[in-house]
Amino acid sequence: MSSLLVEHTFLSGQKIQIVQGDITIESVDAIVNAANSHLQHGGGVAGAISRRGGPLIQQESDVWIREHGPVSHSETAVTSGGELPCRYVIHAVGPVWGEGDEDARLTSAVIGSLHTAERLGLTSIALPAISTGIFGFPVERAANVILGAIEGYFTDYPSSGIKLVRLILYDQFTLDAFIKVWNERCRNS
């Protein structure tokens, strides 16, 4: 069961939400997978998506890699949702902490996911805290980058067909960090 904790509606009518829950049960057009560049969905969010979505997601990911090669930070891969309630899984590759230029690469992964959703004609998308798991990106810093990227996207594309972006956060530590950054950003705007 998901719990909506905070929501902001932009002047354009587009919404961003922070939700505590499980991204694999979200009934949105697409969910974003925090993927590695070779789309091997073994652990973390990727593993959960692959397990719940069934073998089709990994099969389609393998085909994607054969046809297009490794996925970059700024580009995404797309598969069906398999047995998930969403239509698509958008596979975004966030940075590994320590590889350099992490903020820009995380921004690219988020913006790339939103551009892909727009290209597919989608209206709703759910994202996890990309790169904060085994990739080691500090959670509060990632929260600031991810929230800033989404806000920037809606500012730059107020007529975007994307009407809802949900940040789906599973554990309390990550949730607390995102809420803290959300509140700081609200006070400063």
For residue 153, what pLDDT is reported? 96
- pTM for the full model? 0.96
Band (pLDDT 50/70/90 cuts) for residue 188 is confident
Percent of the chain whose predicted confidence (pLDDT) is above 70 = 99
Query: pLDDT at residue 187 above 80?
Result: no
Q: How confident is the model at residue 128 (pLDDT cuts 50, 70, 90)?
A: very high
**Structure tokens belonging to residue 169:** 């956060």
Tell me, which fold does domain 3-188 have in CATH? Leucine Aminopeptidase, subunit E; domain 1 (3.40.220)
Q: Is a pLDDT exceeding 70 seen at residue 189?
A: no
CA distances from 92 to 7, 108, 128 (A): 24, 9, 10
Distance in angstroms (rounded) separating the CA atoms of residues 111 and 146: 9
